[in-house]
Structure formats: structure tokens, C-alpha cells
Structure 1
Amino acid sequence: MWSLKKEKGVPVYVSIIELILSYIKKGDLLPGERLPSERKLATYFQVNRSTVVHALDELVALGWIVRKQGSGTIVNEGKWGISTTPRTDWRRYLEQNAFAKVDPYTEQIELLLKQPSTNRLDLYTGELPLDLIPSFSFPPLTWKHFLEEEQQDDLGYLPLRQSISRETEKEYGFSLPAESLLITSGAQQALFLILQVLLQSGDSVAIEDPSFLYALPIFQAAGIRLYGVEMDQEGIDLNSLEKMILQHRVKMVMVNPSFQNPTGKTMSMNRRKALITLCQNYQIPILEDDVFAKLNFVSSDQIQPLKKLDPENVLYIGSLSKILGSTTKIGWLSAPTSVIQQLAEARKMMDFSLSIFPQLLANLALTDREFSRKISDLNTNIEQRSKAVFDTLNEMDEWEVSMPQGGFYIWAKWKQGKLRQKDWAVFLHEELLIAPGFFFSENQDSIRINFTRVDETKLPLFKEKLRTVTKKIALDFPTL
């Protein structure tokens, strides 16, 4: 296994890095597996020990391996802090392609979703089911109408930006001026632009642990190092965050404070104010992902956006895709005008054109006289579904669960400890498709359920499948 092919013109330590990386990527070296000692590696490779030390130091810096006192050097068991190494040819570029790396469990879920089945429950997909997506009536439109639309500029369709501004004022009582709004093709384009313009390779970003951001490949592709900060019932833990800021020189804090994905938690107002103060003290901007803002079961005055509390220090991402469906990729980013102009210019230079078509449709939906009523009806329906799923889980001694105040998701924790690979396989076997905790963290004891996809007709099947899965997994665990 430890045979090194030395290439002409390539430093030996680089060849060692590439060899170890290839073993990790192919699965020859597994997370948590210990590497041979530095002396043994030097013997295997027939090089000086200092060359091996140099290669291992680089891999530690990149986050692929860690050194533990008394345990030696092991393969990193998670993604926190992983960066990519520079490449000098196409083969090596392709090897570091973060977008090509798909978790095997994800592949199995997607394979099942492609197969016909009348007995499958898809609670994994992060979208509203079609029966819940509000229906809006649109006036007759011709292709010429789209071609003649002249109110589109680098920031996006002006009437849509004005509608978003009015809706925010109505909902939360604060203004997002149209000139501070950049319309994007969904929330992820906004995030991508921020990574490209405001951060650079090697920068550290603090996120909640667990978080959907952990699963996104765009961070690793951009060379951004993610560090997870634990949460409690009020949201991100600020003592842990401050330590993270000092230890890793964090450049930005990214949070999903309302109906967090995946936990469904909502950050308390006291915690929001304290987070603002902490980041102001360290002069660190906050990115607030608020894509579930409209999907709330409580009054808006109980959940104030961070952006309202600190307009200058908070970058704010919103979206209509969660309501109108993923085929209508409409999101927006609000930031100080100088920042927005830079982001818009960067998008223009990258030629990420934004179609007028979904912007017009989104504006027609927002200006529909029945918009507020339809959103209210939607929230009533999803709250009922969330309560039904919560009650089902809460009745079982094996699961620990909290009732969300909005959004799509319920986070259920297996009380008896870490779930193993064979336990996750039970969910697949029973065709109860959920998102496992390890998608969002190093956590292996929790599941994320999209409760919006469990209507009255599917509830009995959900209860049956969950009981079956729970019973099968519990057989291998001590009695509670």
C-alpha cells in the first residue's frame, strides 16, 4: 500500500500528499484510521523523516488528517476545517472537485427515488409537496411582454425588489430599500457570490452545528474552512462561538436563526441581541439565512430578523423558492449599498445572467391580493402536519424531539446514542427516507424529517414505518 511513485519535477513531499489523499478519497484510509508512524512512512517511501513530516504538516493544515497526543496521526472524522490543495494539471483539478463527491447514503436515497414505489415515504426532499404550493392566477402574458420589460438592471427586476421591500416592511416593520436588494437565482447563488467577493481561500467561517451549510460543497470548492459551533435550545452557543473566533480567526458567522435547517430551532430574542453584540465587538459580519421566514406558526413580532437589529453588520438572504417551489429559483440578498454594488458587478463579470421570467412571476405572486391569505392557509396546513409528526415521535420513548415554530423540519434524536451504518440501512430498507444527522454535522444520533410531506393520508403509513424502524434498531441497543 505504501509504495511511492516519484514523478520527475514534482517535489517528493507533494507526491506523498497526493498518495495519502488518494487513499482517503478511495476509502483505503477510513475516517478515524491511524496512519503509520513518521519513521515507518519514511522507511516505506525511502525518504528522510523530515520530508514525511513536511507532507503530514500540509495535510494537517488542509484538515485531512489530525494529530492526537497518544494516538498518533489519524484521518479526520469530519469536514470541519477541511480545505483543498492546489492543483497544477487537469487530473489533479478533477481529483479535488468538491461537487463530484456524493455521499453513498445520498446516492442510495436518490436511487430509490428514481424507482417506482407505492410504499415509499419521501421525508428527505427539502421541498413542499405539490399539494401545498399556493396557486396564483397570472394575467395573460406574451413573449413580447418579457422582451419589452425594461425595468431590469444589474440588481434585478425593480418592481420585484420594491415588492420585497414592501412585504418586509409589512411583516417586520423595517425597510429593505430596493437599492440594497440583489435578486438572485435562489439563496445558494447569493451565498456563492458572498464566498467569491467577501471571502478568500483559507478564510474561516463559523456556522451552527448541525447546519445544512455543512453539506454544501461550495465552501470546500472555494477553499473556505468551516467550523461548527454547538447549539442549545436558544440557538448558537455564544461562549463556544467566541472561543472559535479567537482560535480560528473567524471572518464571518453564518446562521439560520429562524426554523433552523436541520433542527427546526428558533433563536431566542435575547440570544439574537447577544450574537449581534458579540460580532460587533469583534467586527465580524453575520450572514443571516432567513429562507423560511414566511413559514411561521407564531406572530412575526416574536421573531425579529437579525437584519432588523443590526442593518449594517448583517447580510440577509431571503427566498420565495420554499413557497413557490424549487423550479422558481428566486432569492435575494440585502446588504449595505456599497457591498451590493460589488456583488452585482461580480455577478455581471461572471455572466450569471438572471432571467426576467421567474422574477415577473414572483412579483405577480407577491402582489396578488390573496397572497397573505394563501400564505396564512399554507402555514395552518403545515402546522397541522408538524403537530401530527411531532406527536407520533413524542409518543415513542426512543426519540427526543421538540415542536418547531415554523419551517419544514423536525429533528429527532435517538436517545440511546450513536446510530450505526446498519441502523441507517434500516430506514432505506423500510423505504422511510429521511436525512441522517451526518449530512449536517459529525452527529450520528439524529434524523431530519420534512413534516410537510406527511398529509392525513400518509400519516398512518408514517406511523407504521417509524414504529418498524424504531423496533428493529432498538433490538441492538440496551433497554431504556
Structure 2
Amino acid sequence: MWQLNRRKGVPVYQEITELVLSAVKKGELMPGDRLPAERKLAIQLGVNRSTVVHALEELEDMGWIVRKQGSGSFIAEGKWGVSSAARTDWKRYLEQNAFSKTEPFIEDMKQVLRQNDKQVIDGYTGELPLELIPSFDIPPLTWKQFLEEEQQDDFGYFPLRESISKMTEEEYGLLLEKETLLITSGAQQALFMILQVLLSAGDAVAIEDPSFLYALPVFQAAGIRLYGVPMDNEGIELSALEQTIRQHRVKMVMVNPSFQNPTGKVMGRARREQLVQLSQSYQIPIIEDDVFGQLRQIASEKIPPLKKLDPDNVLYIGSLSKILGSTTKIGWLSAPLSVNRQIAEARKIMDFSLSIFPQVLATIALNDTSFYQKLAELKKEVSARGEAVCSILEELGEWHVDRPQGGFYVWATFSKGSLKQQEWQYFIKEALLIAPSFLFSEKKDSIRINFSRISREQQPLFREKMKKITQLLLKNREHDTINR
């Protein structure tokens, strides 16, 4: 761990500072851990002791370490937020989408999207296209009526909580107590607040591999250690999960059991029951992400939410953004009252206010008499687009797909193995935007496609682009075989 990667133009003390911070964020150094003595650390790094002292002073000023005369230097044990650097990282993620700015491939795709060319096919963006989002009539509302709305407390707009509770009961037979239901500004805010309130820097969390959680910077910013657990056809492998729990002292399990992002896999009822039993035996809570629940193509009784199987141990996250558009920013968290009270209080302290406007609009949509009819029409069209895209991929012969039973993602795996770094650029050059598997895992052999964004008119062009890219990939492998 104590080895510098000398970079031209970077002061040595700054490299030492970055080395310590990196070890903290990776979990190699935990709160309360003691750093080597200044002289010993200087010898290990091959630098002057004064350089080490300079670096430790910088870390102390930032709040990352505590220096005790006669005892040494220790990783700070203070609450999250004490360090201004950590707080800045969180804010940057919430307000500026820091992840997209650090991944060159995503930057390249954004540049293609800005061209506004009809030849561009956007299978990357994680939301419905505008033409598929259901439209609802809004009754005349004055500005004063919004301002006078008094039915919102720290948990959110009460009529919306009633409507969501009614919806989940009708769809799943799952009663979410409206008195304890917490409305959030989307599913990601619910996840963020869970990390903030229930976990500490250095804690371990088990997630599916691959998983969209792998791409979120909130975990690294909070110092949370993520451990990916392999999946089979029904989702997370329980034997591997149990081994991970024992080996890394996992504090929480986060899963997306219905139409998993990015693979689209569905966890069967038996696996769900076994997962709940496993978490109960280790007294570890489960975070259930069910944001695609309304876009299912299979009967709800076949995929009961984990929350229904274990109301007390499962924290349930839902969202309307996948059917009403991401700008709606309406999510919810069903958790024990004591948990949601603390989360609501933390949100107030952090001044993450909850706007009444989207809550009222979402309530109007959920109570519209045509809501379920329009939802059914939406699912029918999304399913048709999914069938068409999967058929095209299967025709090519080199891409393995499992036809999704809900949601709007398909996961396609290239049969000839991992793609090289330069080969991912084929998709950019063809203006076919997809989410590469390296965003969700260490794997580099698959792509995630939002098929809802590929209209019937675009499907022939999608076939043409995929065929050209596949031929280029195969040609490369033939060339590699010849040159061996």
C-alpha cells in the first residue's frame, strides 16, 4: 500500500496525501487506524521526513486524520460531513452528476447526442422517450393554490402517499403504510439518504454483479466498500452472497430483483424467499430497488416484492420516474417508522427540500381514471419494441440475449469475448449509443440497450448499425487468430 506512483509536475507531499485518501476510500484504512510513524513512513516511501510531515499536516487540515502528540497519526473517526472534501464530493454528485464527467466514453456519447442528428440511435439514456410517456389532463390550478397546500409534512405530500399506498396494494397486494411512507426526489435520493443515515465510512455492502450501483459515485464518496456478488439466471447467487457476508462483514444487501438493471433478470419467488431467509439469519437489512415494477409483463404474484415477504427487514424503494419521466422526480421509501423519521430529519438538516409541485402533479396522474389504461398501453408498446430489438440481435447470431419480461433494458453479450478499448469506439462512430458493461462491472463483453427508445421507424437503422459493428468485431478476431 505504501508505494508512490511518481508523476511529473505533482509535488511529492501531494502524492502522499492522495495515497492516504485512496486507501481510506478503498477501505484499506479504516476510521481509527493508526498510520506508520513519520520516520518509518518516510523510509517506506523513500522520501524526506519533512515531506511526510507536510503531507500529514495537509490531511489534518482537511479533517481526514487526527494527530496526537506522543501517540501518532490516526484516521479520523468523526461523523460524515466533518471533512469538507467528503461533503463536496456528495454535493457534486447530487447537483452536477460527477460520474458522467469522469468517464470519457459517456462524454463521447454526450457529444454525439448534441449533434441532434436523425441518424443517432440513443439506446443509452435511462428513461422513456417523450412520445411514450403517458399524458394526463391537469385541472386548473393557481399559483396560490400550490402555495396554500398544507398537506405536506416531513414525509411528503399526504395525498400522494395515500395514492402510492393504494397503487402498490392494487398491483402487488402490498400494503405500504401511508403514515410511514417517505416521499423522495427520485429513487437515487432515497438511496443517498439510506447511505447517509444507516451506514458509515468503511462499511461493506453487497450488490449484484453486474449492477447499476457499480456506476454510482455516492458509495466511493461516502467511503462505502462495495462487493459484487455473481448472478445466475435468477439473480444474485445466495451461496456466493453468504460467503461475501461472512468474509467482509457486510452491513447491507442491495438488490434489484425485478428487471434488474442492467441485465433485465427476474428473481423467482423461491429465490426471493431464500434471500429473505438468508438476510434474516444474519440480521442484515435488504435494500430493494423496484423502480421498474410498473413496467412488468408477468403476473405480480410470480414476483412479489421482497418487502411483502419481509416487511420489517426490507427497505423498499419505488419510483414514478420510469413511467412519468425523469423530470417528475418522485420516488418513495418504505421503511420502519424509526428509520424514516431519522432520514426525514437528516434531509431537513441537509436542506434537501421536497417541492410540492411534482408531488401534486403525480397525485393527479395516479388518480386519473385513465391511469391504468394508459399504463397498459405503454407496457404493450414497450414490449413490442423489446421483442423487435431482441429479434434483431438474435438474427446477428453473435449476441446472446435473454428476452426481458419487464422494464425497458436488454442485456446483450458478445459471444467472442471481451471488447478491447478501441472497439467500444465503433458504437460511437456509428452513432449507436449503448451502455457498455464496464460501467456496471469489471466485465467488458456486454452492452445494455434501452429498447424503448428505438422506435419502429428506427429499427431498420438499428439492425444496419449493429450488423456493421458486429462484422468489425469479428474481423478483428479473425485478424488476431491469423497473427498468433
TM above 0.5: yes
Instruction: Give the conservation status (yes or no) of the 8 Å contact 2:259–2:292.
Output: yes
Q: Determine the C-alpha separation between the residues in 2 that align with 1:177 and 1:87.
A: 35
- Output the CA distance in 2 between the equivalents of 1:455 and 1:241: 39
Q: 1:422 offset after TM fit, Å?
A: 1.5
Measured at CA, do residues 478 and 243 of structure 1 come closer, stay the same or move farther in structure 2, by a change above 3 Å? farther
- CA separation of 1:42 and 1:111: change in aligned 2, threshold 3 A: farther
Whether the 8 Å contact between 2:90 and 2:218 is mirrored in structure 1 is no
Distance 2:179 2:84 in 1: 42
Distance 2:17 2:426 in 1: 37
* Partner deviation per Cα, 1:171-223 (whole Å, 9 max, x = no partner): 11121010121000000110011000011111000000000000011111111
State the SS of the aligned residue for 1:174: coil
Residues 1:276 and 1:95: Cα distance change in structure 2 (over 3 Å) = closer
Which amino acid in the other structure matches residue 323 of structure 2? I
Query: Which secondary structure state, in structure 2, belongs to the residue aligned with residue 180 of structure 1?
Result: coil
Alignment of 1:125-140 (within 5 A): 125-140=125-140
Deviation at 1:2, TM superposition (A): 3.4
CA distance in 2: counterparts of 1:332 and 1:312, whole angstroms: 16
| Residue number in structure 1 paired with 2:361 | 361
Cα distance in 1 for partners of 2:192, 2:239 equals: 28
Letter in 2 for 1:251: K
1:20 deviation in Å? 9.2
Aligned residue in 2 for 1:2: 6
Q: For 1:296 and 1:133, how far apart are their aligned partners in 2?
A: 16
Q: What is the aligned partner in structure 1 of residue 65 from structure 2? A: none
> How far did residue 477 of structure 1 move?
1.5
Partner of 1:449: 449
TM-score if structure 1 supplies the norm length? 0.83
Partner of 1:405: 405
User: For 2:293, what is the secondary structure of its paired residue?
Assistant: coil
Determine if contact 1:97/1:221 at 8 Å carries over to the other structure. no
Does the C-alpha gap of structure 1 residues 384 and 221 become closer, same or farther in structure 2, counting only changes over 3 Å? same
- For structure 1, list consecutive stretches of 5 or more residues without a partner in the other structure: 8-13, 23-40, 56-84
Contact 2:410 / 2:449 at 8 angstroms: preserved in 1?
A: yes
Give the structure 1 partner of residue 213 of structure 2.
Answer: 213
SS in 2 for 1:179: coil
Q: Cα distance, 1:401 vs. partner?
A: 0.6
The residue that corresponds to 1:263 in the other structure is: 263
Matched, 1:224 2:224: yes
User: Partner of 2:245 in structure 1?
Assistant: 245
Moved over 2 A (4+): 1-7, 14-22, 41-48, 85-101
User: Retained in 1: the 8 A contact 2:89–2:221?
Assistant: no
Output the amino acid matched with 2:6: W
* 1:89 positional shift: 7.9
Aligned partner letter, 1:2: R
Contact 1:307 1:315 in 2 (8 A): yes
1:315 CA drift (Å): 0.2
Structure 1 segment 317-328 matched on structure 2, within 5 A: 317-328=317-328
What is the letter of the counterpart of residue 163 of structure 1? Answer: S
**Cα distance change of structure 1 residues 46 and 338 upon mapping to structure 2, 3 Å threshold:** closer
Judge which range, 418-427 or 282-291, deviates more.
418-427
Which SS does the other structure have where 2:113 is aligned?
helix
SS in 1 for 2:416: coil
State whether structure 2 residue 234 is matched by structure 1 residue 234.
Answer: yes
Aligned to 1:283: 283
The residue number in structure 2 matching 1:312 is 312
Instruction: Judge conservation of contact 1:385–1:455 (CA < 8 Å) in 2.
Output: yes
CA separation of 1:334 and 1:394: change in aligned 2, threshold 3 A: same
How far residue 306 of structure 1 moved from its aligned partner, in angstroms, is 0.4
- Give the conservation status (yes or no) of the 8 Å contact 2:316–2:335: yes
Residue 200 to residue 389, structure 1, CA distance change in 2 (3 Å): same
Tell me the TM-score normalized by structure 2: 0.82
Equivalent residue letter for 1:181: L
Q: CA deviation at 1:18?
A: 2.6
1:462 aligns with 2:466: no
Give the distance between the partners of 1:329 and 1:265, measured in 2 at CA.
Answer: 25
2:62: which partner in 1? none
Change (3 A) 1:419 1:45: same
Go from structure 1 to structure 2 and tell me whether the alpha carbon gap of 1:108 and 1:42 turns closer, same or farther (over 3 Å shift).
Answer: farther
- Structure 2, unmatched stretches of 5+, are 23-41, 57-79
The answer to whether the 8 A contact 1:127-1:325 is kept is: yes
Which residue does 2:117 correspond to in 1?
117
Q: 1:90 to 1:331 in 2, by over 3 A?
A: closer
How far does residue 344 in structure 1 lie from its aligned partner after superposition?
Answer: 1.0
Write out aligned runs for 1:84-123 (5 A): 100=98, 102-123=102-123
SS of 2:6 mapped into structure 1: coil
Give the percent of matched residue pairs that are identical in Structure 1 and Structure 2.
59
* Cα pair 1:2 1:44 within 8 Å, conserved: no
Aligned to 2:74: none
AA at the equivalent of 1:385: R
State the Cα deviation string for residues 300-329 of structure 1 (Å, max 9, x = none). 122110000000000000000111111110
Q: Which residue matches 1:141? A: 141
Amino acid at match of 2:346: A
Q: CA shift at 1:349, angstroms?
A: 1.6
How much has 1:405 moved relative to structure 2?
0.4
Residues in 2 aligned to 1:283 and 1:159: alpha-carbon distance in whole angstroms: 34
Aligned partner of 1:472 in structure 2 is 472
Match of 2:73 in 1: none
Q: Which amino acid aligns with 1:109?
A: M
**2:46 aligned partner:** 45
Which runs of structure 2 are paired with 1:388-427 in the superposition (5 Å)? Answer: 388-427=388-427
| Cα separation, 2, equivalents of 1:138 and 1:86 | 41
Distance of 1:124 and 1:284 partners within structure 2? 34
Residue matched to 1:36: none
Contact 1:269 / 1:303 at 8 angstroms: preserved in 2? yes
Q: State the alpha-carbon separation in 2 of the partners of residues 193 and 91 from structure 1.
A: 15
Using the alignment, how far apart are the partners of 2:246 and 2:141 within structure 1? 55
Which AA in structure 2 matches 1:287? Answer: I
How far the C-alpha of 1:43 sits from its partner, in A, is 8.8
One-letter identity of the residue aligned with 1:254: M
The size of the alignment, in residue pairs, is: 424
SS of equivalent residue, structure 1 residue 344: helix
When residues 426 and 87 of structure 1 are mapped into structure 2, their CA distance, relative to the original with a 3 A threshold, is: farther
Corresponding position of 2:16 = 16
Q: How far 1:116 sits from its partner (Å)?
A: 2.8
Question: Is 1:184 matched up with 2:184?
Answer: yes
2:238 aligned partner, one-letter code: L
| Alpha-carbon distance change, 162 to 250 in structure 1, aligned in 2, over 3 angstroms | same
Letter in 2 for 1:302: K
SS of residue in 2 equivalent to 1:475 = helix
Distance of 1:348 and 1:93 partners within structure 2: 18
Q: In structure 1, how many angstroms separate the alpha carbons of the residues matched to 2:283 and 2:458?
A: 49
Deviations 1:402-438 (A, max 9, x none): 0010001000001111111111010101111000000
**Residue of structure 2 equivalent to 1:76:** none
SS in 2 for 1:116: coil
The structural deviation recorded for 1:15 is 5.0
